[in-house]
Amino acid sequence: MSGNAHLEVPKPFDTARWQARLDELLAAHHVPGAALAVLADGEIHELASGILHTGTGVGTTTDSVFQIGSVSKGYTAALAVLLADTGKLDLDAPVVDVLPDFAVADAEASRTVTPRQLLNHTSGIEGDHVNDTGRGDDCLARYVESARNVGMTNPPGATMSYSSTGYNVLGRIVEVVTGKTWDEALKELLLDPLGLDRTMTLPEEVLRFRAAMGHMGEPGEDPVPTPLWNMLPRSAGPYGGISATAADVVRFARLFVDGGTAPDGTRVLSSAAVEAMLNREVAMPDEWFLGAHWGLGWGLFEWDGARGFGHDGSTFGQLAYLRAIPEKGLAVALLTNGGSAAPKVYETLCRELTAELAGISMPAFGPPEEPPVVNTAPFTGTYKREGFLMTIADRPFGEDPSGEGVLRLTYEGAEGLAGTFDPLVWNLTPVSDTPSRTVFAGRRNEKDGWIPVVFYALADGSRYVHFGVRATAKSTA
């Protein structure tokens, strides 16, 4: 969707105004607590609102630490690209050149997958392999060994499909190349040079600070604390194990805004490495969720002609968002500790902040007032990937009072995850229909925001759905 060319001239950051807006949005959407950091006019502005834990009532402060989930992937990507830039890693040589014992269920992929394909999510390796391999320094080595039976979503290079598994393989590559644990390499190569002293990977480090507790609940309800502070194992570190303050997340993003240098002038990444990470490596089947393209670690978008990068992150009960527009000197990080409507808080704040501080209109996603008529027959059926099953079925118009949608998407656990959560259901409304793809907008209820669901085919004709930045093949049986 096109931007608004008549936005006002960017304004300076008004701390009182944005504090009131943050307070208002958290209350309206039942989000217990959040921290917001914004890079604008060369300065980082920090805000906090709400409470860290509804059971204790401890207030959120700007120095509070949150789990940032998959935003961690940007840090792991930076480590890999840094090693490549210094000649210690070839991004286009097979992974087995560095990890001779690396293997997944597909023999050809085991031989040919490259670090570049892991970075830009085109490896085809199933993305959600979670395995607790202990708290020892060998946890990533054991994780990679355990991935031998992990299957493929698609042939390497055929399409983009988000793979946390691939980022753990990258984490192990970092360990082998540097001779350090991933945690140590992260600290020595990125965190220390950037002065990120409130960014960490281990629970015992988090305990030194005020830490957010995750919360979960249904839309419109006050969420309740999760049973555990963190349900991810240590082996999840490279793809989702970092905790940080919002300001530290923005300081990391600033590295790319400033072309690879720290605020004190220290060069942490070369300008070529920064450019490589922000280069459009692969087009996204779903261009709305995190951007129209993917680079080496970042989702890449373009709003009103201005290019930007970002990433989302989620753990059990915590949601994190990062967006940055280098040419405008703007970066926004919002860290939240729960509430199913946290995405609405992010979307509202990011849209308003980018408009006021950069004069840019952030596009919205949803169906048109008059959705196109599409033939749904090619899309109905089952789509399966490791641990998850999606069923797409026709949904007769007027089946419930909302009368919304022509298809229903049911998402549930399969195999080892069967029965581990209640099936989730989205009603799908057509957005656009072209020979190369058909786009639907889905939501679970009228309180939810719209999410893209994209149906398309690979070069060999096999049908796929892109949902949650993951590609899933249509079952032929």
Give the catalytic positions in this structure. 70
Place of tokens 């309740």: 224
Rounded-to-integer distance, Cα 42 and Cα 46, Å? 13
Rounded-to-integer distance, Cα 71 and Cα 319, Å? 10
DSSP string, 180-230: S-HHHHHIIIIIHHHT-TTEESSHHHHTTS-BPPPEE--TTS--EE-SSS-
DSSP string, 452-466: EEEEEE-TT--EEEE
Residue 285 CA to chain centroid, in angstroms? 16
Give the largest Cα separation in the chain, rounded.
61
| b (16+ CB within 10 A) / e for 325-358 | bbebbbbbbbbbbbbbbbbbbbbbbbbebbbbbb
Rounded-to-integer distance, Cα 47 and Cα 336, Å? 12
Sequence-ordered list of residues with C-beta below 8 angstroms from that of 421, at least 6 positions apart, any chain:
412, 413
- Residues, the chain, total? 477
Tokens for 219? 């839309």
Rounded-to-integer distance, Cα 209 and Cα 74, Å? 23
Name the DSSP letter for residue 164.
Answer: H
Rounded-to-integer distance, Cα 407 and Cα 426, Å? 8
Phi, psi of 367 (to 5 degrees): -75, 155
Alpha helices in 102-160 (DSSP H): 107-112, 115-119, 139-146
Q: Are the beta carbons of 154 and 127 closer than 8 angstroms?
A: no
> How deeply is 98 buried, as exposed, middle or buried, from its count of CB atoms within 10 A (0-12, 13-18, 19+)?
buried
Q: Which amino acid is at 383?
A: Y
Rounded-to-integer distance, Cα 352 and Cα 347, Å? 9
Rounded-to-integer distance, Cα 29 and Cα 21, Å? 12
Question: What's the N-to-C CA distance of the chain in angstroms?
Answer: 38
Q: Which amino acid is at 154?
A: N
Element (H, E) at 432: strand 424-433
Rounded-to-integer distance, Cα 353 and Cα 361, Å? 10
